[in-house]
Structure 1
Amino acid sequence: MSNNHMVGREDGQTELLPQHEYSPGRRKLLASLGIAGAAWAAGSLINGQAKYVNGQGLSVTESVYGEDKGCCEVTTIAGLRATTAPDASIMYFVKDLGQEGLFYYDPTDGSAADNTGTVLVSGTGARFKRIYGESLMAAWFGAKGDGTTDDTAAIAAAISAASGKPVVFRSGSAYRITSTINVNQDAMLVANGCEPFKILPSSGFVAFSFYGSTVATTTLAATTQMNKEKITVTSSAGFAPGQIVMMQSSKLWYYDNRGTLCKGETHMVTHISGNDLVLRTQTWDSYDIAQETVTVTGYEPITVRIDNMTVEYPANTNTGGIYLNTTYRSHFNHVSVHNASVVGISTSRCYDALFTHCYVEGSNAVGLGYGIQDQQSFGTVIRESTFYNNRRGVDFSGVIPTRGGSVERCIVSGGGKASDGTDNFLQASGFGTHGPAEHIVFDGNFITHVTSGIFTRGGGITIRNNTFVGRMQQVILISFGTDVRILNNTYDSGFTSKAAVGGSPGIYNYHPAYFVNIHYLTATNGCIEIIGNVATMVRVAFARVDASINHLVIMNNSCVWITNIPTNPVYFLDSGRNVTLSKASVIDNREELKNGQYTFAKGSIGFDLGKLDADRFPIRDADRLVAWSGTASLTNAQVNLIMAKVGQTVRLTGKVSFDVTGSGDAKVKLTGLPQPVNERIFAAYVDRDLNQGITGMLSTTTDLLISRDMAAYDSSFPVGIGYEIPIQFEYLTT
């Protein structure tokens, strides 16, 4: 006779199970099976599924213990709680639907609380404990997932009992909660199938609040320079390796500080030596303890991992969805939040958080809503996620700066309605930063139907390889901050072959006014680089510059303009203020004009070439070529010049052309050039056959005079068409 039973498995296969001629005691059974075997035995009965032996209908329990079940008692949760004579030598099989499993009596435990799922306590105080493996089922704790039962307490109990192990929810089920589930320990929530499980908050409260613990507070004890690997604190008591530390200065942040936002940074402690905290990354800023007080707070982080979960509120619920506070290497994958109008997912003081394949919709509160908002954190990465109908898809900000974050290969659309019922487009931006944000990267994203594609107010921001499509007011908006790099992005309106229908507004107004709008900068010593971008169909200018900048590079870009009125002015550089651009390199850009009147730079923009080491940029502003005397008019003026600066030398090369119409004649000059140092500068006539050319400049003006007669520096051009003046001119400036 065989000593083995053929045991069926859930996958339809069979495996051998030893057959014993006696029923073992509970302790010997556990010793022989081990933890994994006991877990397998328990798991074989989950969800009421039977295991059959030799086709005779014997359950695994019967097979293992013998048909007499001398060491296993079948009971219910209510039965165990009513037990008055517990037996430590047997096991108890609970058969309640969805809560099935093996329990044993632990006579050594007199304190564990009854949580319905893993610990049951009888009326006499006996503790019965579930045997399980590497995960727990939310259903064990009484979670129904039927969309109507209040599952708040059951879910909280499951997470608490799991202590970081996976809590498994039924795929496709809906769990109603009536208050915030607060979690102060490691947590993992997963679905048991491909379809997500849903959390349905009953009203406007945060669904989950995950948070670490504050463990120590001290102050910085020594002045610290940037790029240092450690900080010295007044006392290291309570601090430990693996903790997150947040430094917050009494000094306000450098720009866009709102009167409350401060210098500071977030770090991870690697080890401690005396009162020195050694950091994983070097310091980002400098702190002078004679001038500022720097508070250093230590936190014990938790780790949260959620896979395949949806949190769904009624439309326009004024709340946040999920709060993640003080965590280390947390990961949300396939997590969706719907209709939490304030913020879908909020992170604070998190280190190396990762969000992949997430979806946030309806964080559309007027002036406030964010899909994901990352605050005073480090290294947050948001990848391959989608954002719809949010005021802003992703935002980086904080009381102190958040740093090292990135948004990669995501999709954002600002469509739908705002929380007040107005068109969400009017307030929507794709991604952005507040002032306290540094070293943030937006890379490879697709952004459409927003007022501003990316809106940044931070420092050290990189915007690269993004695709912007459709209705916008400006593609990229820079306000406050410094050191922004805009590299290899594309904008395409998508409207060039389409027409408005019905009563819809003219499609012309859907095109952005600007590819880049540099609205305001607090720190003008930084660098703005705009290189290798393609802007197809903008209405006004490639770049609007409303701030004086000490280092501006606009190079190798391509721009196509479109206007609804052929006589409308368009610019490569526009401004609404009087600004000065120092060390500006505007070179090797390609312009194409569908219609409109092109001017290189608006007259309110000045170029301070005296601060250039070496530079060149085109001058194509026809408004600079004027008739300054005479009765005739100057028409069809065109300017195509390159102005280069090497040291104090200015070189002009290229040509100007114009017609003189009307009656009489006109004297002509080119305006807006750097002022010369000499009293008067003359240049050789460049076209003696036509007896026309350039004469020079006076030290009191910024005008280059163009002469018709070699005998006089200010001679006039008679009425005529097709005047074309080659220019090669060099002079010294201050």
Structure 2
Amino acid sequence: MSSELKPVTASANDLQTSFALQPGYVKRRHHTIFWRRSKMSQNFRENESFSNEKPDVSISRRKLLSTLGVAGAALAAGGILGGGSMRTAFGEGATVTEAVYGNGNDACTTAPCVIAVTLSEMRTSLTPDPACTYYVKDSGQEGFFLYDPADTATQDDNGLTIVSSAGARYKRTAVADLNLKWFGAKGDNAADDTQAVQAAVAAAQQLGMAVYAPAGTYLISAPIVLDSAAKPIRISGDGVYTTFFKPHPDFTEANPLEAIFKFNDTLVANRYEFAEFGIVSGQLLDPKRMRYGIYSTKLSHTAFRRLCIQGTQTAALGIGYGWCNDIDSCEFSFNSGDGLLFTAGQLNALNVVNTKIFANAGIGINMAYEGLEVRIQGCTIEKNAACGIYVKKGSFNLSIYSCYFEGNAETGLTFTNPAMIVKASIILNGNVSATEPQAIQNRYPSQNVTITDNFVSVGSEDYFVAGYAVEIGLEIRKNTFLHSGTVREYTLLRTGTNKTGLGAMAKGIIIRDNDVPSNYKPYLNLKTLAIDNVPLSDNTGFHTSKIRHIPRVNYSPALSSFVKIRDFGRPGVFGSAAQQYRQKEVYSFTGEAVPDQWGFSIDLAQYPELAGVYMYFGLYVKQSAANMNTQLFITGTGANTQGYGSNTAWRITSSIVKMPDTGIVNFCVGMIADSAAKTLYIAHPVLSEIGVPYDYYF
């Protein structure tokens, strides 16, 4: 019969009771084991020996181990190496049958052999022999060990190294993943498994290996610390519904465990993976007895895959400074705090994909610190009480697309300046520090935010996006909204002005192709825009906004049709400057430091379509010298005065107004200067609905 390597088709359980070996392979989690074909009996059963036929193929101990691989664990479990006390299989000089399964002797003599023992026997009654291989048959801790006579220092970790009472060191061999149960973990939801889990993690980080958590519930009484300076590892279980890590019952809601897994953050931890397990406090409605599931402030190239984390107080997952991290197909739900929390700044190239962020009492994704190239794709973001996604400190190139939003912001996010509650699925703010009180601020705005192709089932929230700090661009495009039942109004974008809180900013707005399916339109009145604190606001930038389907109409007359609107008794001179800018007529103010103001009026009786509409009044201006500026004035909004400036180039200035339902609204422009010798030039006045850019009217 050929002695070439042939794979065997059989599961580990099959090998416990039958050894009818056929071509194929044995795969137990991450191991593939190959066997040599031989004349093994086709009907061997547990505790029965092979026939006396002995093919003339001998095997050494080293060849034996490489041949057995991890499948040897299954062989032993089936009784081949099992039985009562120690049982021996000889190697060198024996046939394959004798080498693997023994010849009736119970102890080694001088030939290489395999001895089946318990951990207790290994620690107390063995005479160590470097020529022998020891197979531990304790349930859950099975595996092969070799005696290392050169080692006198390694500590007993109950998993990889066993130290006898006489000081002999037995070391596990033929290992791919480190099984928690090798280190004494029970996973029975009763024993404290902290020491065993920590030992397995420490051993894995020393060796650069993976940790495997078999199905079970592992109670943890102190955070499992991962050394950021050690080798990266993977920690995986048997699935989110079968492998669980859970705080020890000694922890309470008033005295929670800090985290199940925590990095010591001495360096940026790099290339870790957490997969296929759950972290829970108990049943869904049980007290939340831990602050975090997994926590780090420095993390890169790390993957979180198919995890379920529930029952935390601060956040299911807290991660910070680093780059290229992936959160894929996870669930962060039923936490009394946030789902995902940024714990430190500069979290770059983060991908949150196909993840369910559900029913958290805080924020679904709390971007408390700045991010760069954060992509949130294909996620379910639902029933997060404060809001779905909150950018507290600006994010650069933030993409939120192909997600499902439903029922977020039932309680809303509370701000202290201004004192208000904002109910929105997504909130974009620009605080300088993550530790600041919740205030609207544009000192650290987001740039290039894209929110597209999302599906929104409108719940108790009033707005889809509250964008208070966006400097370069905010695009809200191709999102679908639905609502049934009571007729209600819903707004795509809520934003503010420099008078909102400590100052809001929204520049480069693009809104297009958002809609409600026809059969839901009777129930949902979709509005485009709401702007806070319009009166007395200035430098708004709304003249750059692009909103599809806004009528492209300039309601301002030409400068030659302007009339005096505000008479200060200082007429000065307002008239043609006998020049053009961009082929547009130029007028000027001269003769007074603060002359009377000129403009035009809009009577809502003649323009009923403008009732309740947000509009901007803008024009090009150029000052002749420093220490002067332009003032725009709108009835109901007041004066837009930006203070003295030194810019003498042509530029656009604008102010906004929400038109009343009835009445007459005046729009006018004037000059403020420290000297009557100065001149203000103006050109190309535009009065338009917000959504048609000023430049469109050239």
What's the TM-score once normalised by structure 2's chain length?
Answer: 0.60
Which residue type is aligned with residue 607 of structure 1? Answer: F
Summarize the alignment of residues 237-386 of structure 1 with structure 2, pairs less than 5 Å apart: 299-313=267-281, 314-317=286-289, 319-365=291-337, 369-373=338-342, 375-376=344-345, 377-386=347-356
Counterpart check, 1:167 vs 2:175: no
Within 5 Å, which residues of 2 pair with 1:555-574? 555-556=547-548
CA distance in 1, matches of 2:426, 2:7: 63
1:449 pairs with 2:407: yes
The 8 Å contact of residues 389 and 425 in structure 2, kept in 1 or not, is answered as yes
Matched, 1:607 2:598: no
Distance in 2 between the 1:208 and 1:196 partners? 17
Of residues 394, 411, 435, the one that matches 2:393 is: 435
**Which residue number in structure 2 is paired with residue 29 of structure 1?**
61
- Aligned residues of 2:495 and 2:506 also touching (Cα < 8 A): no
Following superposition, the deviation at residue 302 of structure 1 comes to 2.9
Q: Secondary structure at the match of 1:161?
A: helix
Change (3 A) 1:520 1:18: farther
Q: Is the 8 A contact 2:226 2:261 kept in 1?
A: yes
3-state DSSP of counterpart to 1:44:
helix
Instruction: Structure 1 unaligned segments of length 5 or more: list them.
Output: 53-57, 215-298, 416-423, 499-506, 560-596, 613-622, 625-645, 649-657, 659-667, 678-698, 705-732
Q: Could you tell me how far 1:375 is from its partner in structure 2?
A: 3.7
Question: Measured at CA, do residues 517 and 532 of structure 1 come closer, stay the same or move farther in structure 2, by a change above 3 Å?
Answer: same
User: Could you say if the C-alpha distance between residues 122 and 334 of structure 1 is closer, same or farther in structure 2, counting changes exceeding 3 Å?
Assistant: same
Distance 1:94 1:300, change over 3 A: same
Letter in 2 for 1:467: F
Q: TM-score, normalised by structure 1?
A: 0.57
1:189-233 alpha-carbon deviations (Å, 9 max, x no partner): 22246854111112321333343654xxxxxxxxxxxxxxxxxxx
The whole-number CA distance in structure 1 between the counterparts of 2:506 and 2:305 is 41
Residue of structure 2 aligned with 1:477, choices 427, 450, 466: 466
Contact persistence 2:474–2:507 (CA under 8 A): no
Do residues 387 (structure 1) and 357 (structure 2) align? Answer: yes
**1:670, CA displacement in angstroms?**
6.5
Q: Distance in 2 between matches of 1:319 and 1:435?
A: 23
Q: Which amino acid aligns with 1:373?
A: F
For residues 538 and 380 of structure 1, do their structure 2 counterparts lie closer, same or farther at Cα, with a shift above 3 Å needed?
A: same
- Residue 528 of structure 1, aligned match among 509, 513, 517: 509
Measured after TM superposition, the shift of residue 301 of structure 1 is 2.6
What is residue 200 of structure 1 aligned with on the other side? 246
Matches of 2:141 and 2:290 in 1, distance apart?
A: 36
The partner residue of 1:131 within 166, 173, 188 is 173
Q: What corresponds to 1:459 in structure 2?
A: 446
**Residues 611 and 120 of structure 1: CA distance in aligned 2, closer, same or farther (over 3 Å):** farther
SS of the residue corresponding to residue 540 of structure 2 reads coil
| Aligned match for 1:514, one of 486, 491, 505 | 491
Partner of 1:581: none
- 1:316-358 C-alpha deviation (Å, 9 max, x unpaired): 4461221134232111111011121310101112321101111
Shift of 1:599: 5.7
Counterpart pick for 1:544 among 522, 530, 533: 530
Q: What is the alpha-carbon root mean square deviation over aligned residues?
A: 4.3
Q: Residue type of the partner of 2:243?
A: F
Alpha-carbon distance in 2 for matches of 1:99, 1:61: 25
Show the counterpart of 1:488: 477
1:237-269 deviation digits (Å, cap 9, x = unpaired)? xxxxxxxxxxxxxxxxxxxxxxxxxxxxxxxxx
- Show CA shifts across 1:100-149 (max 9, x none): 11111001111211111111011222110011232121111111111111
2:545 corresponds in structure 1 to 553
Letter in 2 for 1:183: L
Equivalent pair of 1:435/1:481 in contact (CA under 8 Å): no
- The 1:611/1:335 distance shift into structure 2, 3 A limit, reads farther
CA distance 1:181–1:193, change in 2 (3 Å) = closer
Change (3 A) 1:6 1:321: closer
Residue 577 of structure 2: aligned partner: none
Change (3 A) 1:491 1:341: farther
DSSP 3-state at the match of 1:108 = coil
One-letter amino acid of the counterpart of residue 287, structure 2: A
**Cα offsets for 1:600-629 (capped at 9, x unmatched):** 4648864224469xxxxxxxxxx99xxxxx
Which residue in the other structure is 1:140 paired with?
A: 182
Q: Structure 1 residue 530: deviation in Å?
A: 2.2
Q: Does 1:190 align with 2:236?
A: yes
Q: Which has the larger share of strand?
A: 1
Q: CA deviation at 1:525?
A: 8.3
In 2 relative to 1, CA 598–337 (structure 1 residues): closer, same or farther, beyond 3 Å?
A: farther
Query: Which residue does the alignment assign to 2:85?
Result: none
* Change beyond 3 A, Cα 1:8–1:462: closer
Aligned pair in 2 of structure 1 residues 22, 335: CA closer, same or farther (>3 Å)? same
1:33 Cα deviation after fit:
4.6
Distance 1:557 1:477, change over 3 A: farther
CA-to-aligned-CA distance 1:383-441 (integer Å, 9 cap, x gap): 0011111222112232xx221111101011116xxxxxxxx3xxx21112112432221
Report which stretch shifted further, 155-164 or 201-210.
201-210
Deviation at 1:477, TM superposition (A): 0.5
For the structure 1 residues 446 and 558, does the alpha-carbon distance in structure 2 shift closer, same or farther, using more than 3 Å as the test?
A: farther
In the alignment, residue 133 of structure 2 is paired with which amino acid? M
Q: Is the 8 A contact 1:152 1:181 kept in 2?
A: yes
Alignment CA distance shift 1:199-1:455 (3 Å): same
User: What does residue 95 of structure 1 align with?
Assistant: 137
User: Distance between the aligned counterparts of 1:82 and 1:63, measured in 2?
Assistant: 26
Q: Judge conservation of contact 1:532–1:555 (CA < 8 Å) in 2.
A: no
Aligned 8 A contact 2:280 2:309 in 1: yes
- Going from structure 1 to structure 2, the CA distance change for 1:412 and 1:512 (only over 3 Å counts) comes to farther
Give the Cα separation in 2 of the matches to 1:121 and 1:331: 36
Secondary structure in structure 2 of the residue aligned to 1:351 = strand
Paired with 2:238 and 2:277, the residues of 1 have a C-alpha distance of 11
| Secondary structure in 2 matching 1:435 | coil
- Is contact 2:180-2:212 (8 Å) kept? yes
Q: CA shift at 1:484, angstroms?
A: 3.7
TM-superposed CA distance for 1:307, in Å, is 1.5
Aligned to 1:580: none
Given that 2:212 and 2:236 are in contact with CA atoms closer than 8 Å, whether structure 1 keeps it comes out as yes
Deviation at 1:529, TM superposition (A): 2.3
Counterpart of 1:487, as a letter, is I
SS in 1 for 2:141: coil
Equivalent residues in 2 for 1:561-710, closer than 5 Å:
600=610, 602=612, 606-610=616-620, 671-672=665-666
Contact 1:435 1:480 in 2 (8 A): no
Code of the residue aligned with 2:541 in structure 1: it is: N
In structure 2, what is the Cα distance between the partners aligned to 1:80 and 1:14? 32
Equivalent position SS for 2:311 = strand
Distance 1:107 1:14, change over 3 A: same
- Give ranges in structure 2 of 5+ residues lacking alignment: 15-19, 23-35, 40-53, 82-87, 90-95, 410-423, 430-444, 552-606, 623-634, 637-649, 653-660, 672-681, 688-696
Question: What is the CA deviation profile of residues 165-203 of structure 1, one whole-angstrom value per residue up to 9, with x for unaligned ones?
Answer: 2222223x2111112111114221222468541111123
Residues 384 and 410 of structure 1 are in contact (CA less than 8 Å); yes or no, is this contact kept in structure 2?
yes
Q: Which residue of structure 1 lines up, in the alignment, with residue 383 of structure 2?
A: 414
Q: Is the 8 A contact 1:23 1:66 kept in 2?
A: no
Amino acid corresponding to residue 517 of structure 1 in structure 2: R
3-state secondary structure, aligned to 1:88: coil
CA distance in 2 between partners of 1:331 and 1:557 (Å): 43
